[in-house]
């Protein structure tokens, strides 16, 4: 199995994955596309993003430092290498009904998913969440009297609170996007050692948003730094055209892309200040780019090429950003070897 990337993360094509033996250090996969993966071992955690891949390779692989062990517990499929664990849980909403207290179905599904993750991590001895990816259908739609993203945030927040994990310095990097279908899907990386949470000086911390954005603020840090196997990893959460807590440049995908690049630049400067290694730069990022409207792909791509350069690896896919007025979002990671 070969691909483009370095260290923990790499991009693959579906053909390359099907045509070669699996790396024994493989922790799991992220598979972009409406057609699901085929011919993969059941023991291999794979998160399917039910979203069209607009440009780039359709598979991302997460690889540990050595041979991995597989398991399945509490609905979570996972692999770990003794230091890092990658897991995936999917929860179908149609098994729930509206709660007696009026709690929406998605809220209950999100809380159940996160409670299962926390139980697993406690039992396996990986207490520190590094990075989380959340995908749910129709993220901006209102059901049961509340936007679905806000329902999700309540369930996630309550699970963090019940587990005693609402400690600001240990809140992981995360993304939450809307896709065309499928269950609530949560993938995550966790470690035996903690990460360092990074916040963006241009933005209000998401967990401090005012009540205008829902009954519970989103539970994630803007980025996280983690060290493993002689390397330092920077995980950048989904980043969009938000300054302070307000969405900027409504209806203008180019201006929104420029604003999110300014946010990325500020975030990397803050991460560099906290880093044990050299400064982080935009061109070294590998990224997922979420574009709400496919007709915006070309201008968004051109603007990112100017900001990130040609060396930054990225895949473009169609997905809904968590706010209905946001048209583009970027998440990323970068790796530095430590001497």
- For 131-188, the three-class secondary structure string (H helix, E strand, C coil) is EEEEEEECCCCEECCEEHHHHHHHHHHHHHHHCCCCCHHHCCEEEEEEECCCCEEEEE
Cβ atoms of 292 and 326 closer than 8 Å = yes
The pairing of strands 196-198 and 242-243 is unpaired
pLDDT tens track for 247-301: 999 999 999 999 999 999 999 999 999 998 999 999 999 999 999 999 999 999 9
Per-residue pLDDT of the chain (339 residues; tens, 9 = 90+): 333 444 688 888 766 676 567 889 999 999 999 887 877 888 899 999 999 999 988 899 999 999 999 999 999 999 999 999 999 999 999 887 766 677 899 999 999 999 999 999 999 999 999 999 999 999 999 998 999 999 999 999 999 999 999 887 779 999 999 999 999 999 999 999 999 999 999 999 998 999 888 999 899 999 999 999 999 999 999 999 999 999 999 999 999 999 999 999 999 999 999 998 999 999 999 999 999 999 999 999 999 999 999 888 899 999 999 999 999 999 999 999 887
Domain boundaries, the chain: 4-337
Cβ atoms of 132 and 172 closer than 8 Å = yes
- Catalytic positions, written as ranges: 329
Strand partners, 185: 90, 135
Q: For 299, list phi and psi in degrees, rounded to 5.
A: -65, -35
Mean per-residue pLDDT of the chain: 92
Strand locations in 180-321 (E)? 184-191, 196-198, 223-228, 231-239, 242-243, 246-247, 286-291, 313-318
Token pair in block for residue 143: 């059901």
∠ Cα 92 135 118 (to 5°):
75
Contacts 24+ apart (CB under 8 A), 65-72: 65/25, 65/228, 65/229, 66/25, 67/24, 67/25, 68/24, 68/25, 68/26, 68/27, 70/43, 70/44, 71/124, 72/43
- The C-alpha atoms of residue 138 and residue 144 are separated, in whole angstroms, by 13
Token pair in block for residue 49: 């993003």
Contacts 24+ apart (CB under 8 A), 165-171: 165/118, 165/129, 166/207, 166/219, 168/197, 168/205, 168/207, 169/196, 169/197, 170/128, 170/129, 170/194, 170/195, 170/197, 171/197, 171/207, 171/219, 171/220, 171/221
Cβ atoms of 304 and 55 closer than 8 Å = no
pLDDT tens track for 44-82: 999 999 999 999 888 999 999 999 999 999 999 999 999
Nearest to 297 by CA among 256, 253, 331, 255: 253
Domain spanning 4-337, CATH architecture: 2-Layer Sandwich (3.30)
DSSP state of 193: S
Q: Ramachandran region of residue 296, left (φ > 0), alpha (ψ -120 to 50) or beta?
A: alpha
Cβ atoms of 247 and 292 closer than 8 Å = no
| Whole-structure pTM value | 0.95
- The C-alpha atoms of residue 242 and residue 259 are separated, in whole angstroms, by 8
- The C-alpha atoms of residue 64 and residue 61 are separated, in whole angstroms, by 10
Q: For 39, list phi and psi in degrees, rounded to 5.
A: 60, 35
Other beta carbons within 10 Å of 109: 24
- Which CA distances in Å does 58 have to 13, 32, 37, 120, 187? 6, 5, 10, 29, 17
């Amino acid at each position: 199995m070969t691909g483009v990337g370095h260290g923990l993360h790499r991009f693959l094509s579906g053909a390359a994955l099907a045509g070669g033996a699996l790396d024994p250090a493989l922790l799991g996969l992220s598979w972009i596309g409406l057609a699901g993966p085929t011919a993969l071992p059941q023991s291999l955690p794979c998160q399917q993003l039910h979203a069209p891949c607009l440009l780039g390779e359709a598979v991302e692989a997460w690889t540990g430092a050595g041979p991995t062990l597989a398991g399945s517990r509490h609905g979570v499929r996972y692999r770990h290498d003794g230091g890092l664990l990658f897991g995936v849980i999917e929860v179908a909403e149609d098994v729930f009904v509206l709660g007696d207290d009026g709690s929406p179905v998605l809220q209950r599904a999100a809380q159940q998913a996160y409670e299962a993750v926390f139980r697993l991590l406690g039992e396996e001895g990986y207490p520190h969440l590094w990075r989380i990816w959340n995908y749910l259908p129709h993220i901006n739609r209102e059901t049961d009297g509340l936007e679905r993203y806000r329902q999700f945030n309540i369930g996630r927040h309550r699970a963090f609170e019940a587990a005693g994990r609402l400690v600001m310095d240990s809140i992981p990097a995360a993304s939450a996007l809307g896709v065309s279908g499928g269950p609530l899907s949560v993938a995550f990386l966790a470690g035996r050692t903690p990460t360092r949470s990074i916040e963006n000086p241009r933005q209000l911390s998401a967990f401090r948003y005012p009540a205008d954005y829902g009954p519970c603020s989103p539970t994630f840090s803007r980025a996280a730094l983690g060290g493993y196997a002689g390397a330092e990893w920077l995980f950048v959460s989904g980043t969009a055209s938000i300054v302070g807590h307000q969405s900027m440049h409504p209806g203008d995908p180019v201006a929104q892309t420029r604003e999110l690049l300014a946010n990325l630049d500020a975030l990397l400067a803050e991460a560099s200040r906290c880093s044990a290694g050299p400064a982080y730069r935009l061109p070294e990022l590998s990224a997922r780019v979420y574009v709400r409207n496919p007709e915006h792909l070309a201008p968004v791509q051109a603007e990112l090429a100017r900001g990130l350069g040609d060396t930054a690896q990225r895949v473009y896919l169609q997905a809904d950003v968590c706010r209905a007025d946001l048209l583009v979002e970027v998440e990323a990671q970068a790796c530095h070897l430590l001497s």
